[in-house]
Amino acid sequence: VRVDLNADLGEGFGIWRLGDDDALLDVVTSANVACGFHAGDPLTMRRVCARAAERGVAIGAQVSYRDLAGFGRRRMDVEPEELAADVLYQIGALAAFARLAGDRVRYVKPHGALYHVVADDPRQADALARAVAGYDRQLPLLGLSGSALHRAADQHGVHFVAEAFADRSYRADGRLVARGEPDAVLHDPDTVATRSVEMIRSGTVQTIDGTPVPVRVESLCLHGDTAGALELAGRVRAALQAAGVTLAPFVR
């Protein structure tokens, strides 16, 4: 049994920092590196790529709407052609730093509002999958299983990797309970750690109603933007290792 652990990295900009990249690089096996559109200046990108490569952490392009002021968290009505070009620009920029580190970009994951939009909107999902296919059909997309992006990736012949969330409640239909609703986010470290192991072992997750539902977990998404989140991420990693789960990038 094996799983990948992914988290967002390099999300500072210029003088500003967000989270502890170095600590998080000791936890994850895949790094979603910000590419400059919602966060991520070139120096930070270079440093994160260098350290990820040293540790054998897979480098992924965390692509976003062009929105530094809103950290890419605001839905934008970007034309598909323009979105595709924006995505290519970001992948290419990150690829330079991966190359400098003797490595390359291994996957693409949408960030923030784009992540949510491409889960439902076929036009933007198609634009993102088409951009990735145009750049390199071998490059996988990481996202939500069963989403519009998943279908678009299939259509464009792009390998889709499904991620799951150990600290989020699931509904009976397998989707996440929306943030803001009661008990949408789980905070107890023991619960989250135990849940991680169960999701991976059983291929199911206990829904908010108490019934199990199948879940595809090729990668678990962790967070490191606060001290608490980082500690939780470490707990999940330790629990998985204790349970004999192999932690490794989903890409070879």
- Check binding of 102 to a copy of itself (CB under 8 A): no
Stretch that binds a copy of itself, among 16-24, 137-145, 170-178, 195-203 (CB under 8 A): 16-24
Tell me the per-residue interface mask from 42 to 81 with a copy of itself, x by CB under 8 A, - otherwise.
xx-xx-------------------xxxxxx--xxxxxx-x
- Check binding of 103 to a copy of itself (CB under 8 A): no
- Check binding of 223 to a copy of itself (CB under 8 A): no
For residue 42 the two structure tokens come to: 């070139």
Residues 6 or more apart whose CB falls under 8 angstroms from that of 128 comprise: 63, 83, 84, 87, 108, 110, 114, 118, 141, 149, 152
3-state secondary structure of 214: strand
- Check binding of 177 to a copy of itself (CB under 8 A): no
Residues paired with 170 in a beta bridge:
176
- Check binding of 82 to a copy of itself (CB under 8 A): yes
Residues 6 or more apart whose CB falls under 8 angstroms from that of 191 comprise: none
- Check binding of 97 to a copy of itself (CB under 8 A): yes
- Check binding of 123 to a copy of itself (CB under 8 A): no
Half-sphere exposure of 42 (CA within 13 A, CB side): 4
- Check binding of 110 to a copy of itself (CB under 8 A): no
Residue 52 and residue 104 in contact, taking contact as beta carbons nearer than 8 Å? no
Q: Which of 29, 30, 62, 90 binds a copy of itself (CB under 8 A)?
A: 90
Nearer to a copy of itself, 131 or 164 (CB): 131
